Amino acid sequence: MTALIELKGVEKHYGDYHALRGIDLEIRAGEFFSLLGPSGCGKTTLLRTIAGLEEVSSGSIRIDGRDMKGVAANHRPTNMVFQSYAVFPHLTVAENVGFGLRRDPRGKTEKARAVEEALDMVGLAGYGKRRAHALSGGQRQRVALARALILKPKVLLLDEPLSALDRLMREQMQLELIRLQRQVGITFILVTHDQEEALVMSDRIAVMFEGEIGQLADPETLYRRPATKRVAQFIGKMNFLPGALSADRREIDIAGLGRVATAGLATSGEIGGAVSVGIRPETLAILFEGETAPRREVQGVVSEVVYYGDMTYYDVRVEGIERPLTVSMKNLIGRPVLDVGAAARLAWDERALVLLPG
Amino acid sequence: MGLGSFAKSEGGRAATLLAPPFLYALALLALPILAVVLFSFWTQDFMTIDTRFTLANYREFFDKPIYGVLLGRSLMVSGIVTLVTVLLAYPVAYFLSFHVPSHRKSLWLFLITIPFWTSYLIRVFLWKVILGYNGVINSGLIGAGIIDEPLSFILYNINAVIITLAHAFAPFAILPIFVALEKIDRSLIEASRDLGETRLTTFFRVTLPLSMPGLVAAVLIVFIPTIGDYVTPELMGGAGGKLIANMIQTQFLQLNNAPMGAAIAMVAMVCVTAIALVFVALNRRWLRGRG
């Protein structure tokens, strides 16, 4: 697949503040791409430089083969859904959606039909005559989407579009955005700080920290083979154990768990020097009466219990490991919830281990 | 029942809060206006006031052309002053809101209020010094060799009144427009740019309509008091620059005909009210779209 958007060495300074540090990025045509990171990591700034709302300090941005240097926002083949939705309060819903059609050569009735179609697409058919201020947050968001999509941009930029919605609405909109993206086939770039949202919606995700891309991968790779501790911590939960590589690097001695061959461990690249081993809570299991570990087992003591209804999170202290291991267990039928202080046998599997630098 | 007692306590609190200013307004605004209304239906009989109801004053107002001419001139002057003031104030407010960094804004607002540090009367006299025959402008232009004779169209006529009033009311116009511009969500302007509009078209499609309430407020704040101003036309207007307020003052204080003055004041007040209502209605229309 060809790159629709190419960023090379993009830098952005605000005075002394270095917001973007040498961003190289290719975004493919038709993909759902997410920029994920904590607040202040530069993800919104990056989105705004693509939109043309911010100038880059250096580096180049090409969209569809065209250099965007000096091209203002109104001349770029991108449209944006703003975090605040930016629905014009002095206009009706239909006037909002049709805002960008002023220069469109089509006639009035055709434009009205296009507006109605766009409203229909986002589930707001018949809302055209309403005043924008009479809409709920979710409806405003749909207006903002319709207003951008009606212009058939090459790229739709979404700046934390779901962060202001309540949880139920957010989950519904996530699925709807995926459906919309497949339907229109436009490249979507989503900015979010919500790792779950990024995992659910994206084809690929760039995780950003302090103006740099920490890792760029599809959701599964990102979750299963995070490149660094930082990425691993940001995407889901992970236990980290210090490890010592043998001289020939064939084996690793993991604190509390013992020796494991490095060949079967997930890594993303060559690793030497100080290493850690990561284990996701759901790949560990507490063994109950009569259960035996399919591969490996270690003894521990429950030090904390957090009950979530469908799941229970345990902190289990294991000898030789400084911090307790977090284990998540599904609350299956007949399975008791253990108390703090209970002895627990932990099953683990070297195939679920991730070898990380540091 | 719960709601009833809530409303009661709420109403009670409102009454307590509003009573002092209400009484103050009643004593110093409503009662004098009532007195003016009454006087306008009475007549002056040499030294005493004839308190029989009559429309004679109003009849005189509409029979003698002088009053209509003065009122028309007043409305025109106020209209021009309002137009000039608002047109000049808008760019200042725009600059303040969009181009001054936020930590400097209060300093700029402070600077804009500097003219108020001196009395209105002194500012009017200052304009005399600037616009006069031997004033700053004329002596400057003569000294520079641009003109041979002092310009006469800038003092003791309507132009001088307009220049002085427009300057005096500028801050009153800048502030409401500034507030309206400050309230505009900046992402709306970015959204307009993103949707294909240039800076200029964005201004006309987004910024200007959204600042309309401030603009209308500025128009009212400038227009209403300038109609009643008599100091500036008295000092700057010369013989041809007298306005309706000067006539009211003359009737009350020089001709000793308070009833006639009251009647003129009433007609002027009705005119101003009618014009203000038009603008309030306009503002309603713009405000309707705001959430």
Contact call for residues B123 and B168 (beta carbons, < 8 A): yes
Q: What is the pLDDT along chain A (358 residues), one digit of tens a residue?
A: 578 999 999 999 999 999 999 999 999 999 999 999 999 999 999 999 999 999 999 999 999 999 999 999 999 999 999 999 999 999 999 999 999 999 899 999 999 999 999 999 999 999 999 998 889 988 999 999 999 999 999 999 999 999 888 888 899 999 999 999 999 999 999 999 999 999 999 999 999 999 999 999 999 999 999 999 999 999 999 999 998 888 888 888 998 898 888 887 777 666 667 789 999 999 999 998 888 888 899 999 999 999 999 999 999 999 989 999 999 999 998 888 999 999 999 999 988 999 998 7
Final residue before a domain boundary, out of A170, A193, A228: A228
Select the residue of B192, B196, B288 nearest A103 (Cβ to Cβ). B196
User: How many domains does one find in chain B?
Assistant: 1
Is there a contact between A100 and B198 if contact means CB atoms under 8 Å apart? no
CATH of the domain at A160: 3.40.50.300
Distance CA A346, CA A289 (A): 12
Kindly report the nearest CA distance between residue B26 and chain A, in angstroms: 38
Q: Which residues of B touch A100 (CB under 8 A)?
A: 195-197
Contact call for residues B162 and B81 (beta carbons, < 8 A): yes
Contact call for residues A203 and A218 (beta carbons, < 8 A): yes
Query: Do A224 and A241 belong to one domain?
Result: no
Residue B6: inside a domain, yes or no?
Answer: no
Query: Do A99 and A150 belong to one domain?
Result: yes
Three-class SS state of A176: helix
Final residue before a domain boundary, out of A228, A245, A272: A228
Residue B169: inside a domain, yes or no?
Answer: yes
Distance CA A68, CA A52 (A): 8
Rg (CA), chain B: 24
Instruction: Tell me the β-bridge partners of A215.
Output: A207
Whether B195 and chain A come into contact, CB under 8 Å, resolves to: yes
Query: Do A213 and A168 belong to one domain?
Result: yes
Distance CA A339, CA A351 (A): 29
- Please give the pLDDT value at position B6: 59
Tokens 């409303």, residue located: B7
Query: Do A159 and A44 belong to one domain?
Result: yes
Distance CA A120, CA B207 (A): 29
Query: Do A214 and A275 belong to one domain?
Result: no
Residue B56: inside a domain, yes or no?
Answer: no
Whether B210 and chain A come into contact, CB under 8 Å, resolves to: yes
Mean pLDDT of B233-256: 89
CATH of the domain at A303: 2.40.50.140
User: How many domains does one find in chain A?
Assistant: 2
Residue B82: inside a domain, yes or no?
Answer: yes
Q: Which residues of A touch B196 (CB under 8 A)?
A: 74, 100, 102-103, 151
Query: Do A299 and A197 belong to one domain?
Result: no
Residue B87: inside a domain, yes or no?
Answer: yes
Is there a contact between B205 and A99 if contact means CB atoms under 8 Å apart? yes
Is there a contact between B286 and A90 if contact means CB atoms under 8 Å apart? yes
Q: Which residues of B touch A144 (CB under 8 A)?
A: 191
Residue B199: inside a domain, yes or no?
Answer: yes
Query: Do A198 and A251 belong to one domain?
Result: no
Q: Residue B218 is part of which domain span? A: 61-288
Q: Residue A24 is part of which domain span? A: 3-228
Q: Which residues of A touch B191 (CB under 8 A)?
A: 80, 82, 86, 88, 144
Q: Which residues of A touch B290 (CB under 8 A)?
A: 89-90, 133
Whether B206 and chain A come into contact, CB under 8 Å, resolves to: yes
Distance of CA A211 to the CA centre of its chain: 16
Final residue before a domain boundary, out of A180, A196, A228: A228
Query: Do A203 and A323 belong to one domain?
Result: no
Kindly report the nearest CA distance between residue A75 and chain B, in angstroms: 6
DSSP string spanning chain B?
A: -HHHHHHHHHHHHHHHHHHHHHHHHIIIIIHHHHHHHHHHTSEEETTEEE-S---HHHHHHHHSHHHHHHHHHHHHHHHHHHHHHHHHHHHHHHHHHHTS-GGGHHHHHHHHTGGGGS-HHHHHHHHHHHHSTTSHHHHHHHHTTS-SS---TTSSSHHHHHHHHHHHHHHHHHHHHHHHHHTS-HHHHHHHHHTT--HHHHIIIIIHHHHHHHHHHHHHHHHHHHHH--HHHHHHSTTTT--HHHHHHIIIIIS--HHHHHHHHHHHHHHHHHHHHHHHHHHHHHHHT--
Query: Do A281 and A222 belong to one domain?
Result: no
Is there a contact between A83 and B187 if contact means CB atoms under 8 Å apart? yes
Contact call for residues B174 and B112 (beta carbons, < 8 A): yes
CATH of the domain at B114: 1.10.3720.10
Query: Do A153 and A289 belong to one domain?
Result: no
Q: Could you tell me how many residues make up chain A?
A: 358
Q: Which residue of A has its CA nearest to B201?
A: A102
